[in-house]
Amino acid sequence: MRVLSQTCRSLRTPSRREAPPRRRPSPPPCCCPPCCPPCSPPPHSPPTTRAAPRGPRPRSLPPGCPRWAGRGSADPAPRWIRKRGAPALPKELSGKSWMVADAESGEVLASHNAHWRLPPASTLKMLFADTVLPKFPKTQKHTVRASDLAGMGAGSSLVGVKENLDYTVHDLWLGVFLRSGNDAVHVLSAMNGGVPATVRDMQAKAKKLNALDTHVVTPDGYDEDGQYSSAYDLTLFARSGLQNADFREYCATSTAQFPGEYKKNKKGKKVRMSFGIQNTDRLLTGIDIKPYKGLAGVKNGYTSKAGSTFTGVAQRGKRVLLVTVMNPQKSEPYGVYKETAKLFDWGFDAADSVNPVGTLVRPGPAGLNQSHASADGKKNGDEHTQASVSGGDSGGMWTAAGIAAGSLAVLGAVAYAVHRRWPRRG
């Protein structure tokens, strides 16, 4: 087994220069700790007669990460450390924020505005699943009441849950993952004590995962003022969820049957009908675009405020990568999937030829105070240093089935393998 202990190099902040008249100074580079990829200010359009809008102002950031220092006049460069012979980053990436991370080691290979707080849309359902999925057995049945479906936003995506009908928890999770059904989310939230209680639970879960860029207002990701997350946090949510076998099954499912209403058959007997549902993740199903080979979920989203968002996991050989893209600015069909595919291709090609810019944070207090050996073998005792770890409650590593046991990285006292079933396309 190989022992992984890697820290990223701190960035040196240059001295400030006097800003030219009538122009704001560009924000200085971030001095992020080794825990995370360096923060960059949000991208903005070149100055015009009116200043470009900013995203939600951060209330708090991961330790050591400064607040945005001002409005930049140009898009900041992506963060990555290239070795000789490494492939260049894909051209024409337009996502406001994105990240490429090794799902096994937690190393961040490259990022762009990783901690910019943006509306997450339905990718927030990954945090919802992290929070609620472990609470109810999948065979448990629930009869839907009208109050369970109250409060859904206008134009919500729906799977077709009907009041006064019973559904298993398994049915409802298929509705959440495949159709991004806000109706299924609201029913599961009702089972969990209601929407307000579920929002509190989700916020507590985010805090436990040290996802400090996230503020939850709705359990389904529907646009509301003050709701935001980041590419970094969404990657944490995906990595945490993928440790759960049911989560992996649901996010990797392309098609399924969903319970419908009761109708009389030819013999006059009432029987429960069903209808087919298909995953809205186009990189998984290949609807209108080429499916990505080796992809196994995780969650896509779209709202008018958030634009398109997506977090995906894919395997090539023994390498497993997570890619998150938020709100591509190019006006092309399915741009979020195309940019995700480009970043996957780059990540698989470059994984052995770039130095990581950071690692995914450890859950719990240990994640904010983890001491570990640096690449040169010296101990790093900085209180903000964070080890490469999984998104689970204990230390360890993440991997997909098919990775040889001898190649597993040992990142803590516990090493665990994630056994997953790759989707079969219908």
Q: 201-207 long-range contacts, Cβ below 8 Å, gap at least 24? A: 201/131, 201/132, 202/127, 202/128, 202/131, 205/127, 205/130, 205/131, 206/127, 206/233, 206/237
pLDDT of residue 76: 62
Average pLDDT value over all residues in the chain:
77
Question: Range with the lowest mean pLDDT among 125-134, 255-264, 399-408?
Answer: 399-408
pLDDT grade, residue 47 (50/70/90)?
A: very low
Q: What is the pTM of this model?
A: 0.74
Active-site residue 147, yes or no?
Answer: no
Split into its structural domains, the chain has a count of 1
Residues 122 and 128: their CA atoms lie apart, in Å, by 10
For residue 229, tell me if it sits in a domain: yes
Is pLDDT of 81 > 60? yes
Across the strands, what pairs with 334? none
Is pLDDT of 271 > 60? yes
- What is the mean pLDDT of the segment spanning 42-59? 38
Q: What is the pLDDT of residues 322-353, one digit of tens each?
A: 999 999 999 889 999 999 999 999 999 999 99
pLDDT of residue 426: 33
pLDDT grade, residue 83 (50/70/90)?
A: confident
Query: Which of the following is catalytic: 180, 229, 230, 390?
Result: 180
pLDDT of residue 77: 66
Residues 116 and 68: their CA atoms lie apart, in Å, by 9
For residue 131, tell me if it sits in a domain: yes
pLDDT of residue 84: 76
Q: What is the pLDDT of residues 102-121, one digit of tens each?
A: 999 999 999 999 999 999 99
For residue 189, tell me if it sits in a domain: yes
Q: What is the pLDDT of residues 199-224, one digit of tens each?
A: 999 999 999 999 999 999 999 999 99
- What is the mean pLDDT of the segment spanning 356-380? 63
Q: Which domain holds residue 227?
A: 121-250
Query: Which of the following is catalytic: 97, 122, 157, 230?
Result: 122
Residues 218 and 185: their CA atoms lie apart, in Å, by 10
Residues 185 and 274: their CA atoms lie apart, in Å, by 20
pLDDT of residue 302: 97
* 317: CB partners within 8 A, 6+ apart: none
For residue 356, tell me if it sits in a domain: no
Task: Give me the percent of the chain exceeding a pLDDT of 90.
Answer: 63
Residues 144 and 168: their CA atoms lie apart, in Å, by 11
pLDDT grade, residue 126 (50/70/90)?
A: very high
Higher-pLDDT residue of 188, 85: 188
CATH for 137: 3.40.710.10
pLDDT of residue 208: 97
Q: Where is mean pLDDT largest: 46-55, 161-170, 366-375?
A: 161-170
For residue 149, tell me if it sits in a domain: yes
Show the beta-strand stretches assigned E in 348-417.
Answer: 354-355, 358-359, 372-373, 379-380, 409-410
Is pLDDT of 384 > 50? no
Query: Which of the following is catalytic: 40, 105, 111, 125?
Result: 125
For residue 183, tell me if it sits in a domain: yes
For residue 127, tell me if it sits in a domain: yes
pLDDT of residue 366: 74
Residue found under tokens 């996957």 = 344
Is pLDDT of 41 > 90? no
- What is the mean pLDDT of the segment spanning 374-397? 31
For residue 19, tell me if it sits in a domain: no
Active-site residue 180, yes or no?
Answer: yes
- What is the mean pLDDT of the segment spanning 261-281? 95
Question: Range with the lowest mean pLDDT among 64-68, 189-193, 199-203, 324-328?
Answer: 64-68
pLDDT of residue 66: 34
